[in-house]
Structure 1
Amino acid sequence: MLEKIYIYHTNDLHSHFENWPRIRKELQRRREIHEQRGESMFLFDVGDHVDRFHPYSEGTMGKGNVKLLNECGYDGVTIGNNEGITLSHEDLMELYREARFDCLVANLFFEDGSRPPWAKPYRLYETRRGTKIGVIGVTINYSNFYRPLHWVAGDPFAELRKWLPFLKEQADLIVVLSHLGLSEDERIAQEFPEVDVVLGAHTHHVLERGKEIGQTLLCCTGKYGMNIGRVELAFDPEKKKPVRKRAMLIATEGLAEAEGEKRFVEQLEEDGKKLLSAPVAKLPARLKSDWFRETELNRLLCKALTEWCKAECAFINAGILLDDLPEGIVTEYDIHRICPHPINPCTVSMKGAALKEVLAQMAEDPYLTLALKGFGFRGEIFGKMIFDNIQISGKGASAEIRINGAEIEPERRYTVATLDMLAIARFYPPIMRAEKRFFLPEFIRDVLKWKLQTMFPLPEDD
C-alpha cells in the first residue's frame, strides 16, 4: 500500500507578518487533518524569514521570528542571506538558541573550518511508517559579505557532492532546502538526479504546480507569505521509491481571515517600537527628507558616510531616507523608520578617469524617479544623487568635477564612500567593477545614528 507523505514549506517571508496569522491557522488545520488520517506531515522554511526592515525583527534581532516559527511547529529551516549577512556574528550565534526545530545549512563554517553548533548539514526525518527522509540545507555564498562577519560560506554544490552520497545510502527520499535561486535549483536537479524534491527560495519565483526536471520536483512559493507550498509524495515501500510527486500552492489571500489578525500585526509593530524606544539625539529643529532635492538631512548622512568610512568623498541616492526626523528627541525607532534598509556602508577605489565618468552620469540623475525594489532597498523611489566633497559644474563630457576643491586627476586613485547597493547593482557599471570594501555588520542607519549622536547629543538630564 502506498504511503502518502505531505511536506509544507514557506520561503522569503522577509518579516511581512500580515499573512502570518492565516499561515499559522492553515498549517494547524492541515496538521490536525493529517494526524486524524494517520499521515505524516513535515514543515520547512527555506530562509529569509527574518528581515530587519520590520521593527519587531530589528528589536529582537530575529529572535521574534524564531518564536513564530516555534509556535507553528516547524521541523526545520535553512538560512537565507538576510539571516546570514544582516546580523552580526554574535547575533547569528544567538538567533536559534531557543529554536525548537533544526537549522540545516551545510555550507556555513567558522573561520577554522568547524561548524557552528546550531547548524547541521542535514537531518534524517522518519515518517509514521518508517520511511526515512534525508533533508539537507544550502544557502547562497555571498563570500564578500560573510567574510567580514567572520564566517566562511562554502560552495553549496561542493557540500551537496559531499553529503548526497551518504544520504542516498541512509534515506529513502532526499529533499534539499535551497536558498540559492531558481537557476541553481535547476542545476541541482540536473547534477544530482537522486534528489527527489528541491524546496527553493531567494529569487522569489512562483511555481504553482512545481517544475519537474528529470526525476526531481522543484518548488517555491514566491515571497512575503503570499502562498504556502504543499508537496504530496506517494511512496511505494516495496520498491523503495516515490511513484508520484505533486506540488501546489495555497494562496493566503484566499484563506479565511484568522481571528485577531489585524491586531496581531499591530501588536508586532508596537512591540518593535517599544524595543527601539531608546533615545539617540535631540534635534533643535526638524530635519527634512526629500527624494528629489538636497536637504540638510541627506547631506548630513552623505557627509557622515565620508567620515565614518574614512573616505575622501561620498555619494548616496536621496531615496535612502524615507521621511523627516522630528524636532526634539529622536529614538532608535525614528531612525529605523526613516532608514529601514539592510544596506551596508561601502567604499570603492577608482581611478580619477573612471570616477569622473561615473560622476558625470550621476549628475544627470538618470534614475531620479525609478521605482526601486531589491538590493536591500526597502524604500520606493531611487531619487536624486547627493554628494559630499564632490563639486560638479556643467554637464556631460564637458562637466568640470572637483574632489575636495581640487580638479580630479585621471590617474590618481580615489576612495569613495557609498551604499553597498550602488556598488553591487548595475546602475553604474564602473562602480561594479571597482575594488570594494564592505563594512559589516553596520547598516547605513548606524552611520546616521552615529552622526546624530555626535552633532546633537542628548542633554545629560535626558
Structure 2
Amino acid sequence: MSSHNVVLTILHTNDLHARIERLPFLSAMVRRIRAEVAALGGHTLLWDAGDAEDRILLESDVTKGAAIAAILNAMGYDAAALGNSAAPTYGPASVARIAQVANYPILAANLVWSQTGQLVEGLRPFLEVALGPIRLGIIGVTATSNAYSLFGARSYPPEPIVAELASYLRQRGATLIAVLSHLGLEADRHLAQVVEGIDLIVGGHSHDLLEEPLDIGGTLITQAGCYGSHLGRIDLEVDVRSGRVLGRQARLLPVDIAEADARVIRAIEEQNQAVQQLLSRYVGHTVYPLDINYFQECAMGNLLADVLRERMDAEIAFVATGMLDEAIREGPITFGDLCRATSSTANPARAELRGQGILDALNYGLRPEVSQERPAPLRGNPQGILQVSGLRVTYDPYGDPEQQVKEVLVGSQPLELERTYTVASTDWEFGELTEYTHLDQKDVAYDVPTILREAMEEHAAQHSPISVSVEGRIHPL
C-alpha cells in the first residue's frame, strides 16, 4: 500500500436477536482486528445494522432492549441502525430509553411522529465521521411497518430520504457515503439502483449471509447473516490527499475463536443481576393457583380476560390463550412471575362488535386448526381457544367444527346477534394478522404502549388478593 493511502476497516453485525452467548467471542475478534489495523496506521469502526434486541431473552424483554445496548457498549460499537425488534414491539418511545443507555448513536432517518413530522426521540438521521483524511457520511434507515401507526408514528419509504441526505452530506464534504440499513437485501438492492452516490450499504433484517458482497452500480452491499455467527469486515483503501476510495474488499469472518472478552462477560453478568432485582419485585398475591390450559377454560386465561375487560371498560372480553406462557403458583406474585406468565407484547384494545361477530369469533377460536396452530409471533405457543370475561359459552366439541358454540350468555342474558357490544381484546385478535374479527383498524382503540404484563401488574396491585379460578365460563356439552 502506498504511503499516501490509509485503510478504513468497517466491522459489522446485524440481527443478533439477543444471542448474547456469542458476544464475548465476537468482541474478542473485534478488539484483535482493531489492534492490527491501528498498528498499520489505519482506522476501525464497528457498526450494527439493527435487531440486536429480542424478547426471546428475558434481560432484553424486561428492559425493552436497554440491557442489550449496555452490552454493546462494552463491545465498543460506534453506530447502530434501528431495527424492528424493539420500536414496533414496545412502541417508538422505547427508542429513547435505549438511546439513553447506548454510548453509540442509533440511526434511522425515516421514522417520525405522524403529527409533528419530527424524528422519533433517540434517533439520529445520519452521522458524520472524520478519520484523518476520510470524511464519512453514514445514513441510517429502518424497515417500514404499518405497526407504527398504532403509536402515532410513521415510517417513510427510504429512497427519497437517502437521496436528499446523501446530497447534503456530499455538500458538507463527505467523500464516502454509507447507508446503515435495516431494510432487507431486496430493498437494499433497490436503494442502490435508484439512489446515486451511495458507496456502501451495510444491511440487515433479511438475515442474508453474503459470503461475497454485491456490487450494484458501484454500490457495495454487505450483510452478515444473523445471531452473531459471523463478523463482517470491509477494508477500504483511501487516498490521503483526495479522500477517494482506491480499493475495497469485503468478507465474512466466522466467529469460531476460543478467546472471550472479559469486559463483555462482566457486562452480561451486570445486566443479569440488574434484571434479577427487577424480577423479584412484589406486585400482588393470588389465593388460588393460576393454571394454563390452551384448549379449555383456565384460571390464567380468566384473569387475563378480566384484566382486559376492566382496563378497557368493556362489556365483555375475549383473548387467545396463546398470549400466555406459564402458570403462576398460589401466593405472592412477583414481576418475574408476570414476565414468565406472558412474554407477549400485545397491546390491550377495545372495539364495538355486533353479537354475530362475537359468535363468529368464538366459533373461529374453537376450530381445531385454529386453536392448535402455532403462529410465529406466539413463539411456539398454540393459539388456543378464546378465554372470556363477561360471557358464558356452551359448545359441542363433537359437533360441526365450524359451529361448535350452542349458547352464549352475556351476564345472565342471551347474546343478541343484532346488538352492538363493547369488547376488549388485544391487537392479536383485533388486528390484521388473524381472522377472529375483520375490523377496520381505525375503529379499534389501542392502549399503547401498554403491553399485557404491564396491564396485569397494575391489575394485581389494585385487586390483590386475586381469587380467580375456573368458573364454568366455557363449558363443553
- Scaled to the shorter chain, the TM-score interval is 0.7 to 0.9
Residue 191 of structure 2 is aligned to residue 184 of structure 1: no
Match of 2:475 in 1: none
Change beyond 3 A, Cα 1:293–1:428:
same
* Aligned residue type for 2:31: Q
* Cα distance in 2, alignment partners of residues 448 and 117 from structure 1: 28
Residue 407 of structure 2 is aligned to residue 438 of structure 1: no
Match of 1:112 in 2: 116
| Structure-to-structure mapping, 1:289-328, within 5 angstroms | 289-328=292-331
Match of 1:165 in 2: 167
Per the normalisation by structure 2, the TM-score is 0.82
- Residue 296 of structure 1: how far off its partner (Å): 0.8
In 2, are the aligned partners of 1:371 and 1:381 still within 8 Å (CA)? yes
- Residue 135 of structure 1: how far off its partner (Å): 0.3
Change beyond 3 A, Cα 1:55–1:159:
same
- Residue 304 of structure 1: how far off its partner (Å): 1.7
* Cα distance in 2, alignment partners of residues 315 and 202 from structure 1: 33
Match of 1:74 in 2: 77
* Cα distance in 2, alignment partners of residues 75 and 182 from structure 1: 23
| Structure-to-structure mapping, 1:444-455, within 5 angstroms | 444-455=452-463
In 2, are the aligned partners of 1:302 and 1:386 still within 8 Å (CA)? no
* Aligned residue type for 1:418: S
Change beyond 3 A, Cα 1:124–1:268:
closer
- Residue 241 of structure 1: how far off its partner (Å): 4.9
Match of 1:382 in 2: 382
What residue ranges of structure 2 are gaps of 5+ in the alignment? 467-477
Match of 2:469 in 1: none
* Cα distance in 2, alignment partners of residues 120 and 283 from structure 1: 45
- Residue 202 of structure 1: how far off its partner (Å): 2.9
Over the residues paired in the alignment, what is the CA RMSD in angstroms?
3.3
Match of 1:124 in 2: 128
* Cα distance in 2, alignment partners of residues 77 and 454 from structure 1: 40
In 1, are the aligned partners of 2:312 and 2:424 still within 8 Å (CA)? yes
* Cα distance in 1, alignment partners of residues 431 and 214 from structure 2: 30
Change beyond 3 A, Cα 1:351–1:13:
farther
* CA deviation profile, 1:141-186 (whole Å, cap 9, x unmatched): 44553563x5554443342233122134432221112223333223
* Aligned residue type for 1:305: L
In 2, are the aligned partners of 1:80 and 1:140 still within 8 Å (CA)? yes
- Residue 126 of structure 1: how far off its partner (Å): 2.6
Match of 2:334 in 1: 331
| Structure-to-structure mapping, 1:331-410, within 5 angstroms | 331-350=334-353, 356-374=359-377, 377=378, 379-388=379-388, 389=391, 391=393, 393-394=395-396, 395-396=400-401, 398-399=403-404, 400=406, 402=408, 404=410, 405-407=413-415, 409=417
In 1, are the aligned partners of 2:80 and 2:105 still within 8 Å (CA)? yes
In 1, are the aligned partners of 2:366 and 2:386 still within 8 Å (CA)? no
In 2, are the aligned partners of 1:85 and 1:146 still within 8 Å (CA)? no
Change beyond 3 A, Cα 1:48–1:423:
farther
Residue 424 of structure 2 is aligned to residue 417 of structure 1: yes
Residue 207 of structure 2 is aligned to residue 199 of structure 1: no
In 2, are the aligned partners of 1:346 and 1:418 still within 8 Å (CA)? yes
- Residue 422 of structure 1: how far off its partner (Å): 4.2
* Cα distance in 2, alignment partners of residues 351 and 215 from structure 1: 58
- Residue 387 of structure 1: how far off its partner (Å): 2.8
Per the normalisation by structure 1, the TM-score is 0.84
- Residue 3 of structure 1: how far off its partner (Å): 4.4
Match of 1:9 in 2: 12
Change beyond 3 A, Cα 1:144–1:90:
closer
- Residue 331 of structure 1: how far off its partner (Å): 0.8
Change beyond 3 A, Cα 1:304–1:429:
closer
| Structure-to-structure mapping, 1:207-356, within 5 angstroms | 207-235=210-238, 241-242=244-245, 244-252=247-255, 254-258=256-260, 268-350=271-353, 356=359
In 1, are the aligned partners of 2:430 and 2:439 still within 8 Å (CA)? yes
Identity %: 25
* Aligned residue type for 2:445: R
In 1, are the aligned partners of 2:148 and 2:155 still within 8 Å (CA)? no
- Residue 203 of structure 1: how far off its partner (Å): 3.5
- Residue 52 of structure 1: how far off its partner (Å): 4.8
* Aligned residue type for 1:250: L
Instruction: Name which of structure 1's ranges 400-409 and 95-104 shifts more when overlaid on structure 2.
Output: 400-409
Q: Secondary structure at the match of 2:198?
A: coil
Match of 1:428 in 2: 435
In 1, are the aligned partners of 2:367 and 2:402 still within 8 Å (CA)? no
* Cα distance in 2, alignment partners of residues 295 and 341 from structure 1: 18
Change beyond 3 A, Cα 1:120–1:359:
same
Change beyond 3 A, Cα 1:316–1:206:
farther
* CA deviation profile, 1:378-400 (whole Å, cap 9, x unmatched): x3222412231363635345454
What residue ranges of structure 1 are gaps of 5+ in the alignment? none
Change beyond 3 A, Cα 1:308–1:45:
same
- Residue 32 of structure 1: how far off its partner (Å): 1.0
In 1, are the aligned partners of 2:12 and 2:232 still within 8 Å (CA)? yes
Instruction: Name which of structure 1's ranges 359-368 and 260-269 shifts more when overlaid on structure 2.
Output: 260-269
Greater C-alpha radius of gyration: 2
How many residues align structurally? 451
In 2, are the aligned partners of 1:124 and 1:134 still within 8 Å (CA)? yes
* Aligned residue type for 1:417: A
- Residue 243 of structure 1: how far off its partner (Å): 5.4
